[in-house]
Amino acid sequence: MKVTFIEIDPDRLPLTLLLEADPSEQRIAAYLPGALGFAASEGDEIVGACVANLIGEQIVEIFNIAVAPGHQQRGIGSGLLRFVLESLAEKGVRRVELGTGSFGHQLTYYQRHGFRVDAVLKDHFLIHYPEPLIEHGIQHKDMLRLSLALEPSIPLRHSQ
């Protein structure tokens, strides 16, 4: 089935999907107001979601990007991220930032899309999450802050 990428009201993104990338309902609720929402859909089903918000002049932070477990490893996340970056560039955004763990598939995913490490926030996941975040048997402790400079004009691609 064809995957379509759209901009959507972030309140319409399924919480269960957002929880795939961020296990804290409190933190999700904090970054949704005023945010931009993006979705990957197959028919009527939203199978991918992204939430981004303006944090400075021409600077946006991606707070959440997730693909439903049954739809992963099909290029949907990469297609959604490309769509988000293209959409943000069209809106005049020149820099995109995000935070992720210091190891794991998320880090290599973002690096494959051109993001580079800017900073390390020591103990971020220990301080801001009440439950330990474990991946591959290792607890996330530090957050890496990544960024990507956007080109002024990127051709827009709507579907995969």
Give me the CATH number covering residue 87. 3.40.630.30
Domain assignment of residue 154, yes or no: no
Q: Is residue 159 part of a domain?
A: no
Distance CA 102, CA 149 (A): 21
Residue 37 lies in a domain: yes
C-alpha to C-alpha distance for 156 and 18, rounded to whole angstroms: 25
Residue 125, pLDDT above cutoff 70: yes
Q: Which domain holds residue 87?
A: 3-149
Is residue 157 included in any domain, yes or no? no
Q: With respect to residue 155, please indicate whether it lies within any of the assigned structural domains.
A: no
pLDDT value at residue 102: 66
**Tally of domains within the chain:** 1
The answer to whether 41 touches 83, Cβ cutoff 8 Å, is no
Q: Which residues of 50-80 are buried (b: 16+ CB within 10 A; e: fewer)?
A: bbbbeeeeeebbbbbbbbbeebeebebbebb
> pLDDT per residue over 26-81, tens digit each?
989 999 999 999 999 999 999 999 999 999 899 999 999 999 999 999 999 999 99
Tokens coding 7: 């901009």
